[in-house]
Amino acid sequence: MSDFGLWDVFSFGPGGWGPAMARATLMTLAVALTGFFVGAVIGALGAWAKISGGRPLRVLADGYTTVLRGIPDLLVIYLFYFGSSAVLTPIGRFFGASGFFSLPAFLAGALAIGIVSGAYHTEVLRSAYWSVARGEIEAAIAVGMPRSLAFRRIIVPLTLRYALPGLGNIWQLVLKESSLISVTGLVEILRQAQVGAGSTRQPFTFFVAAAILYLAISSVTGWTMQRAENRFTRGLRRE
């Protein structure tokens, strides 16, 4: 162990790991946010398929949510990271390039997280849609709103209101899941902590620092989510 204090390794001065950890924190946020929004898009499509799709679409969406919620996320990350080369290399060959192609770690990770969280998004959005009171939609049609206007003005805002707590949970899940991308070598918080632990021989210090960073992100975003929830449910009577 080094002779200086336990936390001096994270200084921002020369030789300190502060800047590296800060950059890694931004990377975690970037990959988690990208994954979350990819998942939201997939979830919106999946919820639409489950609510108003025909039978084949519903079966497809049901299969998707069942499979993705039943297999480990790490396996999906491996699939995207290693599997992408199986798909991309022949395409590269076709266009005359030689060598080995695969998705960059960031893209593979964000897509994998998006696909996994998309299954949770689908369920949250679907059940939120069903908790919108039918009378609200009927009222919109009764006052003569076209379907698209009713969707934009009535259905989307109300669905989001009911979905908000669920979306907050998914965000927390996605944030923690982003740590799994460290296995592909993407330098986010956990990977940076591993590197630091290896070169300073202070694994405990570095992994505790990683834990604190995740704790901080999840607390701050959790608090923000709570604020948003309060704001979007202003119109509801609370007991």
**How far apart are alpha carbons 204 and 213 in whole angstroms?**
14
Tokens of 128: 């939120």
Query: CA dihedral defined by 137, 140, 141, 143, rounded to 10 degrees?
Result: 160
Q: For residues 42 and 115, is the Cβ–Cβ distance under 8 A?
A: yes
Q: For residues 77 and 184, is the Cβ–Cβ distance under 8 A?
A: yes
Residue 26 identity: L
Cα 157–chain centre separation? 21
Residue owning tokens 């998309």:
118
Q: In angstroms, give the least distance from the CB of 110 to another protein.
A: 16
Site size for another protein (CB under 8 A): 43
Cα 181–chain centre separation? 12
Among 34, 39, 73, 140, binds another protein (CB under 8 A): 73
Tokens of 120: 């949770």
Q: What are the strands, taking DSSP E only, across 77-136?
A: none
Q: Which is nearer to another protein, 111 or 158 (CB)?
A: 111
Q: Which is nearer to another protein, 131 or 219 (CB)?
A: 219
Q: Which is nearer to another protein, 127 or 194 (CB)?
A: 194
Residue 117 within binding range of another protein, rule CB under 8 A: no
Residue 169 within binding range of another protein, rule CB under 8 A: no
**How far apart are alpha carbons 85 and 36 in whole angstroms?**
24
Residue 197 within binding range of another protein, rule CB under 8 A: yes
Binders in 23-62 for another protein, by CB under 8 A:
none
Among 26, 51, 74, 97, binds another protein (CB under 8 A): 74
Among 11, 85, 127, 233, binds another protein (CB under 8 A): 85
Candidate segments 54-62, 91-99, 121-129, 206-214, binder of another protein by CB under 8 A: 206-214
**What are the residues binding another protein (CB under 8 A)?**
1, 66-67, 70-76, 78-79, 82-83, 85-86, 172, 175-180, 182-183, 190, 193-194, 197, 201-205, 207-208, 210-211, 214-215, 218-219, 222
